[in-house]
Structure 1
Amino acid sequence: MKIVLNSRFGMPRLKEGLEVTGHEVLEDVWDAKDFASLGVEAALFEFRTIFNHKWRFIPLVLRLRKMGIPVATWNVDSPWHMNRGPLKVKLLLKSGLIDLYATHSLQDTERVSGPRVLYLPNAAWTSYYGMNGVSFAELWDRGDYDWDVSFLGNMNGAAYPEHRRRAAFLAGLEEFLNRRGLRVLFADVSRRPYSCAEQLGIIQRSRINLSCIAAADSTGVMSWGLTERAYGVPACGGFLLMEDRVHVMDDFARDEVATYRDPDDCREKISYYLDRPDERRRIAEKAHERVMGDHTYQQRAITLMTELES
């Protein structure tokens, strides 16, 4: 199928998944005449792009509907919706402009009327995040890890209000871990970007990789959907300790994940898993197998296109 992806910064992960699975991808096409001349069969709009370019989106989609070309969007920031208000989101989903609403979180979708709803979680971008030639035996805890606990992410709450709670959570946790004499790396990627190779090295040289408080949680209600690191860290063979989100058990079995409920539980789980290297590595290896089998962007592309073609 020939599909157009319209987004602000491109959707390289999904684009690659679509191309690997045999689809032709065009980007940044906003003229209905071009859709016709190029033989485009479907259109996918990044969720925030719809709001940022609504006066281009609406007339284009009205023409696409007359042409019989299905229109989809993928939201990976529910229920925050990239700070688009709930009323705007509700109006969009009731407008009849979208045929397929793919989302990483099914919370509140029982009230969606109009488009078909598809659960489409984040995934691992395996072209960049994988074992990179390192064996599971090399990752077994032999006492030579660089970090006991690590986190890579945006921690700049002053510049990015959606990350204030994360910054406060990590500041308190870092103080606790430092008092225990643990080696901690909490790196703010908004101030110092890390290459994929650097990220991979940190993931594989950390006993525990942490996930905490995504931008999607900015409404004060935890998103049901898992962050991309829930799949990317296991793809690299790393052990991940993440929030106990609703969709965890939709994507993993209980023996494939380690989760925590709140800050106190997070501290207890860190202590627990640092003392149990064998259990930690068994979980990491099972999570890796699950991700590589079920949670890559190639799988997401197959799911999306199967739904669009139905």
Structure 2
Amino acid sequence: MKILYHVEDVRNTTTNQFLYRNFADGFEALGHTVQPISFADDFAAKLKAEQPDVFITSSFKTYFAHTDFKALNSARASGLNVVVWVEPLPGFSYGIYGLHTEPGKIEKIKAGEWGDAYISCLDDARFDAAFLEATGAHHHAMPLAANPKLHFPENLPRTYDVAYVGNRLPRKEHTFQSVLFPLKKTRRVAIKGYNWSTLDRVINKFNRVARARRLPLPEIRTPNVITLDEERRLYSSTKACLNFHEDAQITLGMDVNERTFKVPACGGFEISDNPKAVRKYYAEDEMATVESEAEWAKTIDYYLADDALRERMQKKATERTLREHIYPKRCEKLLGLVAKK
């Protein structure tokens, strides 16, 4: 089967680009071929030249604007299956943007002029019902996952007590100040990602400008940014890997971030917030969770004091992840959706 995947720019490092790479690896592991179609491509010409069986796109404003709906629906009439990653609806959004904020999106879905299957990371019957009521179409949960091509355990000594890999987002700053940074006083802590220093922020701003202006320049790597291989080895060599979600994710309890799956896939023991959503995928004897920021310190101390318990839980979580929560499994589910068309 041939899959065409909508991306902004094949060179960039946005979240959607990583998602494309992970799904591409998943489809290829199943024996399918995947090609990107970027905003720089002539949409109609690319669609005609590639003749894909499945086209995957997003409801984000820029993707919506770079979709030639006349060409798309002509191809659908000839057998093309279209899958759309959709944004949240009011009451389920983490910000001011959603499926409802751009005119024409919901109308396209209602008219049957966009997709054959609509997916998002929100894994909850409440959103399924709201989506059906608003659009007349069914929504299907498509949680993130681990990429077995990149995420697998390595037999390494546990060098660090605690590790966190993620960007220093302003909306998570209160958690970093109250939970993460105090650990540096008493534990061996590794913190990696974007914007953890002034130099990081300057370099990242330059990279964003270069991408926005489509300058033919390579990404400049900041001191705290690590490669995918380094990330895997860090999880494998840390006693306790922390996972912080967005406040709205914790409140709604409908989805988890990709880190939830990556840590155990790499052989790391994970302590996470967002327990309502985490328990959809991992049992209490597989992954530790905290109910509030006040519980972080004692929970970390508890598990760091018991090596055997940590290793038992990590082993179970790793086995479940590599069995159930990998991108080839998600790809199988996605293809199953369009097969029912």
Quickly name the TM-score band, shorter chain normalised: 0.7 to 0.9
Distance (whole Å) between structure 2 residues aligned to residue 219 and residue 30 of structure 1: 37
1:105-150 per-position Cα deviation (integer Å, ceiling 9, x unaligned):
1353321133332211111112122124x2xxx66xxxxx332111
Q: CA deviation at 1:178?
A: 4.0
Contact 1:105 1:247 in 2 (8 A): no
CA distance 1:289–1:2, change in 2 (3 Å): same
Counterpart pick for 1:257 among 278, 281, 287: 287
Q: CA deviation at 1:207?
A: 1.0
Contact 1:5–1:43, Cα closer than 8 Å, also in 2: yes
The separation in 1 between residues aligned to 2:333 and 2:102, in whole angstroms, is 24
Q: 1:15 to 1:297 in 2, by over 3 A?
A: same
State the match for 2:152 in structure 1: 130
Match of 2:206 in 1: none
Q: Secondary structure at the match of 1:208?
A: strand
2:78 maps to which of 52, 67, 70: 67
1:19/1:243 Cα in 2 relative to 1: closer, same or farther (>3 Å)?
Answer: same
How many percent identity over aligned positions?
21
- Return the TM-score normalized by structure 2: 0.75
Contact 1:4–1:27 at 8 Å: present in 2 too? yes
Determine if contact 2:94/2:249 at 8 Å carries over to the other structure: no
Tell me, which stretches of 5 or more residues in structure 2 are unaligned?
10-16, 201-223
1:228: Cα distance to partner?
Answer: 0.9
Matched, 1:52 2:74: no
How far is 1:93 from its partner? 4.3
- Unaligned residue ranges in structure 1 (runs of 5+): 140-144, 156-162
Measure how far apart 1:89 and its partner are. 6.9
Q: Does 1:233 align with 2:263?
A: yes
Which sits farther off after the overlay, 229-238 or 82-91?
A: 82-91
Contact conserved, 1:225 with 1:247, CA < 8 A, in 2? yes
Q: Tell me: CA distance 1:271–1:12, structure 2 relative to 1, closer, same or farther (3 Å).
A: same
Tell me by how many angstroms 1:77 deviates.
Answer: 8.2
Q: Deviations over 1:285-304 (max 9, x none)?
A: 00000011011111111111
Q: 1:134-169 deviations in whole A, cap 9, x for unaligned?
A: 2xxx66xxxxx33211101101xxxxxxx2132221
CA RMSD of the aligned region, Å?
Answer: 2.7
1:211-233 superposed Cα distances (whole Å, 9 cap, x missing partner): 0024xx56884552111111111
- Larger relative CO (CA 8 A, sep 6+): 1 or 2? 1
Q: Separation in 1 of the partners of 2:71 and 2:101?
A: 19
| Residue aligning to 1:39 | 51
TM-score by length of 1: 0.82
8 Å contact kept, 2:192–2:225: no
* Distance in 2 (alpha carbons) for counterparts of 1:278 and 1:219: 31
Residue 250 of structure 1 aligns to a residue in which SS? coil
Could you report, residue by residue, the CA deviation over 1:172-214 in whole angstroms, capped at 9, with x for unpaired residues? 21343245x2222223434231012322232122111000024
Report if the CA contact (8 A) 2:146-2:325 is conserved: yes
